[in-house]
Structure 1
Amino acid sequence: MALTRLALAVTFSAATVSAFALASATGAAASAEPASPTPASAQANHPTPRTADELKTQINEVLQNTTGGSQTAPNEVTWNKGEKNEVRLLLPVPSGMEDEVQAAKDKERSLSGTLATYYKNGCPYSSFTKWACLYENENFNGVQNEAQGPGNGRLLQFKDTSVLQNLNQWYFQDTASSAMNTTGGGLGVQKQYYCNQGSRIIPAYSGLGGFGDFNDAVKYIYLAPSGYTPAC
């Protein structure tokens, strides 16, 4: 559905980042074809889980259609846990499970020794780690200001700075409608592997509350290294 494209200027806590400069250089996306994706499945318009059983069913569906992930909270699947290319998929929390989910996350962070993390519309960042986030719905799934996600839709959080990547790896093709980028490089979202259909660029340290005609049509992302912007 084509909706008005919204831009959101972002400010981050001085406790974690002292100064930001938008990237001015241009980086080129990889020219090689990506590896074969995991089996395709209808991924857009996921129903919101209303019970613990429905949430578990959806978590199992994600695990069955992707490779290498593990359940790390009642509503969360993580790939490459603890690595520089860690990726997390958060599902909406059914009413009444909020405390259980938060307790699981607090326990996991305590066991892993995770440093204090800040959030911008549900997208995490700290002095040492920056993330980029894709949201199932516009306006960041309704997550406000410094609140944690996922909000009213699925939320994909990734810190992988890499070549162009297929969102089917994380069961998120044709799902994203907004994005937040807390990294120092630009984030590009594309309908195809090549640039012939263009892209939406989310600059470093900023967000985009709607993709317009790219809503529910994004299949690839490119998270550029710090100081660079995707070429298309």
Structure 2
Amino acid sequence: MKLRKTTVLASAVLLSLTMLSQAEAAGQEDELQQQIDQVLAKTSGGVQISRNEIAWNGGEAIMSFPLPGEDTAPPSSDAAVKLQAKVAGVSAKSVAAAAADGKALAADDGCPTQTFGNDWYCFYQYENFGGRRLQWNESHPHTDLVFFSVYDFDNKTSSWSNKGGKYIYVDGRSVTGQDRSCDQGSISLWQEAPHSSKAYVGASLDNKADCFWTS
């Protein structure tokens, strides 16, 4: 009788631990979706394309979130890879062939490699390429500034990676909360040379980026 009671008790404890673990996992999943929903609510034109990614304008800009329990966003999902190939004008077959040959589709920091063309650049929420990743490959001259507020990413950049051949120029607003001041009277923050990266922009520039333009 004692053995049976012990077995039943052990089974009950195991079941409780399993249910607790599942509840914690579900809670983390809910938190990730809540973050995505918040960005979608604060922006326009965004579409959730995977468990942890939002795309704007057919993949012109893609935001990737860290998965539950992780500090950095993973490399692009299959859905994002297809969009990256499309916006870069690269065939899906050539991307698949490159992957089959062992060529990396993403760098260690998660930013797309030259497999998708020589134009990709990424911004990260935290230092050491952590947190959310926001990526582009399009050219944006000074007359076509990109405002981070459009993607709920203003004042959120702590590191960056420029995998392409463009120069990227990052500015801040001269008037808090007014994107226009990032165009007229903007504060120059930093310049990204081609094929370079920065694991931390520094305390004086951290969370100051409001807009950028490219060569």
TM-score bracket for the superposition, by shorter chain length: 0.5 to 0.7
- In the TM superposition, what whole-angstrom CA distance separates every residue of 1:195-214 from its partner, at most 9, and x where no partner exists? 55322011011112222211
Cross-structure match for 1:209? 199
Report which of the two structures shows the higher radius of gyration computed on alpha carbons.
2
| TM-score under structure 1 length normalisation | 0.60
CA RMSD of aligned residues (A): 2.9
Select 2:125's aligned residue among 114, 130, 136. 136
Distance in structure 2 (CA, Å) of the matches to 1:108 and 1:138: 23
Q: Residue 156 of structure 1: SS of its match in structure 2? A: strand
TM-fit CA distance, 1:181: 0.5
Q: Percent identity?
A: 29
Q: Distance in 2 between matches of 1:191 and 1:204?
A: 21
What is the CA-CA distance between 1:154 and the residue it aligns to? 0.9
Relative to 1, partners in 2 of residues 1:140 and 1:95: Cα closer, same or farther, differing over 3 Å?
closer
1:54 aligns with 2:31: yes
Q: CA 1:201/1:93 → structure 2, altered by over 3 Å: closer, same or farther?
A: same
- Residues 1:120 and 1:189: Cα distance change in structure 2 (over 3 Å): farther
| Partner residue, 2:165 | 184
Q: Which amino acid aligns with 1:187?
A: I
Output the CA distance in 1 between the equivalents of 2:193 and 2:35.
32
> 1:106 Cα shift?
3.2
Q: 1:106 aligns with which of 78, 100, 106?
A: 78
The alpha carbon displacement at 1:118 in A equals 3.5
Q: Secondary structure, in 3 states, of the residue corresponding to 2:153?
A: coil
- For structure 2, the residue ranges without an aligned partner over 5 or more in a row are 1-25, 87-91, 100-104, 174-181
Bigger proportion of residues as helix: 2
Runs (5+) with no aligned partner, structure 1: 1-48, 142-152, 225-232
User: Relative to structure 1, is the Cα distance of residues 92 and 50 closer, same or farther in structure 2, using a 3 angstrom cutoff?
Assistant: farther
- 1:122: which partner in 2? 110
- Following superposition, which runs of at least 4 residues in structure 1 exceed 4 angstroms of deviation? 107-112
Distance 1:197 1:80 in 2: 28
Give the match for residue 55 of structure 2: 78
Larger relative contact order, structure 1 or 2 (CA cutoff 8 Å, min sep 6)? 1
TM norm structure 2: 0.65
What's the offset of the Cα at 1:164? 1.8
Q: What's 1:200 paired with?
A: 190
Structure-1 residue corresponding to 2:214: 223
User: For residues 106-125 of structure 1, what are the alpha-carbon distances to aligned partners after superposition, in whole Å with 9 as ceiling and x for unaligned?
Assistant: 36647983724232421112
Post-superposition CA distance 1:8-60 (Å, at most 9, x none): xxxxxxxxxxxxxxxxxxxxxxxxxxxxxxxxxxxxxxxxx961101111111
Q: Is the 8 A contact 1:50 1:94 kept in 2?
A: no
The one-letter code matched in structure 2 to 1:134 is F
2:65 maps to 1:91: yes
Structure-2 separation of matches of 1:70 and 1:183: 25
| Paired residues for 1:128-167 under 5 Å | 128-129=116-117, 130-141=119-130, 153-162=131-140, 163-167=144-148
